Structure formats: C-alpha cells, structure tokens
Amino acid sequence: MLSKELLRQILTEQRNSILKKQTGIERETLSVIGEKLRLPHIHVVTGIRRCGKSTLLRQVIKKYHHDQDFYYINFEDERFLNFEATGFNDIYETLVSLFGPQKTFFIDEIQHVEDFDAFVRRFYDNGFKFFITGSNAGLLKEEISTRLTGRHIDTGLRPFSFTEYLRFKNMAVEKINVLQTEDRANIISLFEDYLTIGGMPEFLLYKDPDILRQIYDDILYKDIIVRKKVENVHVAKELYLWLMTNFSRKFSYNALSKKLSAGSINTIRKYTDYLEESYLVRLVNKFDYSLNKQLVNDKKVYLVDNGFIPVISTQPGVDKGWLLENLVSSNFKPDQEIFYFSGKRECDFITMANKTIGEATQVCWELNSDNYKRETEGLLEAINFCNLSEGLILTYNQEDTLSIQNKKINIIPVWKWLMKS
C-alpha cells in the first residue's frame, strides 16, 4: 500500500509531466475522439507501446480541456508496481485534495491494475468521464468484458500514418499538389524513407534502432512472458522471431509446432495470440465464406510498422515488394477486416466491413512483363469469387486503369493511396 505522502508526490509529478509533454504532430485520431466527446461512454485508446497514446491524451487535454479540470494517472510508473484496485479510493481522495473536485480521468496503461473495471464502472455510473489507454488487448478485454460492456468506445492508435509523417517532416499536406513536379518528387522521396523506417514517433525523432529493440523487448518480457506466465520461454522467443522474419508468408500452427518442437499446436496458437494482443502484429486469415474454414486454414502475419523489420528480422535483406505489402496491411480503415485470397492464384487482400466485402487488392513493387499475368489473374480470380466489379493494384509509383474481362482494375501508387486514405 502506498503512503498518502508518496501518492501526493507521484500524482503531482505525473500531472506536471503530462502538462509539460510536447503535443507534437496533431494525430488524425484526435478528430475521431472529438466527434465522440458528447457521448458519456468511456474512451479506450489502444495501440502498441510508445505509438503516441500518452501524447494523444495530452492533445485531448489541451484541445478539449484547455489544460484544466482533469485528473491524470499513469500506471506505467514503476512506483505503482503491484498496485491493487482497492487503492483507487486513496488515489481519488488524494487527487481531490491536490486539484479539487473534477469529473474527468485520463489514465495511461490501466491494464497494469487487475480489476480496474470495478473502479471505472462505479465512477462512470456516478457521472465521471474516462479516457484510458492500454497496450495489451488481452489484458484489457479480460477486464472490460465484465463490467464495461456497452459503456466504452474503442479507438485504435497506430504509428504515424504517411500523412502524419509528412507533417512530421514539415510538409503541409493540405497544400500539396501531386500534379506539381516538385511536390510529387518530394512526396516520393519521403515515401521511400517512410517505407523503410516506419512511423514510430520516438524512433523518428532520434533514429536510434535501440528504441525499437527496447519496445520489442518490453512487449516480449513484460507484457507476454511475465504477465501471461509463459512456461516455454525458448519456444515463444523462437516463434516470434520466425513470425517477424517471415511476415506476409503463409504458415500453419501445426507446421510451426513441429518446426519449433513446441509439443502442442495449442501452445503455438496461444503464444501467437499473445503477440497479436500486444498490437505488434496482425494475423490475417484466408478468405472464405465459412468461418470454420477461415479458422483452420493457413494464416499470414504482418507487423504494425515497417521500422521493426530490419531491427528484429533475421533476414539480411528484405524485398521491397514485401515491405510495400506489409505497409499496406496496416493502413486499411480501422473498421475493415482483412483477409488474403488463395485459389488457383493468390490475391494479397480482401477487405470486409459490416459483413460486406469491400475490395480486392493486389500489391507489387512494379507491374511488368514478368509478373503481369500472375498479379492480374490472382486479382481477377478474387474479384470473380467475391462478385465484385473492380479491383485494385497498388505499386510503388505506377498509375493506370485497365479493363480485363469486363472488370475494371485501378493501378495506384501506394503513396497516393495512403494520402487518399
């Protein structure tokens, strides 16, 4: 149990810290939150460690609260280690004594406190507003699914989008004219950088690979091995290394279980789920109208950000086409499920929202005489299977419109697609 004096010290320091924090590049997600402010619901902001969740809270505090009338708690602070939910009353009483009665809580990394939902629910029922962040879907769902069902709004935060990256590089997106040679050249040059280094904010600021390596280590050891009480640490580490080296390629739990001598398919499935819950990777199922077939067929895995690939992957050189595909995988709209298509040929992505198929998308670095047949036939097969009238091919820098078998195929550079998205 923390003493009242230590609580006063921690909460005072944390408030000063969040107010001193730079607001940085305004996140596109800020407007999404702004549109929902009128609702009484609990705002839950989720995403990989250090993708900017605390900075987003800082932006909400500044833009919508004018740096006043709020409480702030950060449970990532090591002084809150082993903090129990029964201590929330002490925190609240201390906050009131320090900053007077307020009705809005901003809480970072709340999943570190078991049974936090009881406190949030009690205060929510008494008219309090909550903005909470978390970097582990599994731990959050375990708590939220009990008492907070129907009372929260989930907002996913990713690393910088390409347009946010352009703003980070001091390029005014709203003034860009892609038909202008100079603007277009600058965009393409910056896109080449973004494709390789990704959009993790702190890494972009300091360009030190150890930042990304430390994020991975924190996810591996703190969020998974320790919190999930992983028994076979060696298998977990080897599995994660294999997945992140072989992103965008098909795999099966059975094959990986044999390859890693895991002893159980369920172990591989469970450990893979843990990694996805950390928001570092995204698992993609094969598209099928049967849910059972989706679950048993081979999977693909993609990383949330390209910057992790050269840092974690054991592969000495990564094909730019794979980088392009991985980048596309993390930039579909938040409400879209994504699948891969596999028949006689393959198509990289099929999107679905509200149980409705959206679009079939193929990704390649360049459409040329060597791959034209493979890429177009795979896309056409997916289009026909899904009963669509058109499809999309995303490339590095080609743009065209084709008509094949009465189907429209749009060819668009990935950088332009990202800016439209």
What would the pLDDT profile of 26-57 be if each residue is shown by its tens digit? 999 999 999 999 999 999 999 999 999 999 99
Q: What percent of the chain has pLDDT over 90?
A: 86
> For 4-156, CATH number?
3.40.50.300
The mean per-residue pLDDT over the stretch 402-415 comes to: 97
Say which residues have a Cβ less than 8 Å from residue 275's Cβ, sequence separation at least 6.
Answer: 219, 224, 240, 243, 281
Could you tell me which of 150, 171, 152, 151 has the C-alpha nearest to residue 160? 171
pLDDT of residue 335: 87
Contact 260, 236 (CB under 8 A): no
pLDDT of residue 105: 98
The mean per-residue pLDDT over the stretch 343-347 comes to: 97
The mean per-residue pLDDT over the stretch 87-94 comes to: 96
End-to-end CA distance of the chain: 48
pLDDT of residue 34: 96
Give the dihedral sign, CA 333/337/340/344. Answer: negative
Q: Which CATH number fits domain 319-421: 3.30.1360, 3.40.1350, 3.40.50, 1.10.10?
A: 3.40.1350
The model's pLDDT over 140-177, given as tens digits with 9 standing for 90+, comes to 877 777 778 889 999 999 999 999 999 999 998 888 88
Angle between helices 116-124 and 88-99 (to 10 degrees): 50
pLDDT of residue 60: 98
The dihedrals phi and psi of 96, each to the nearest 5 degrees, come to: -65, -45
pLDDT of residue 21: 97
Q: Where in the chain is the domain with CATH 3.40.1350?
A: 319-421
Could you tell me which of 404, 396, 399, 420 has the C-alpha nearest to residue 188? 396
pLDDT of residue 54: 97
Q: Where in the chain is the domain with CATH 3.40.50.300?
A: 4-156
pLDDT of residue 290: 83
pLDDT of residue 263: 84
Q: What is the mean pLDDT of the chain?
A: 95
pLDDT of residue 87: 95
Say which residues have a Cβ less than 8 Å from residue 353's Cβ, sequence separation at least 6.
Answer: 333, 335, 336, 337
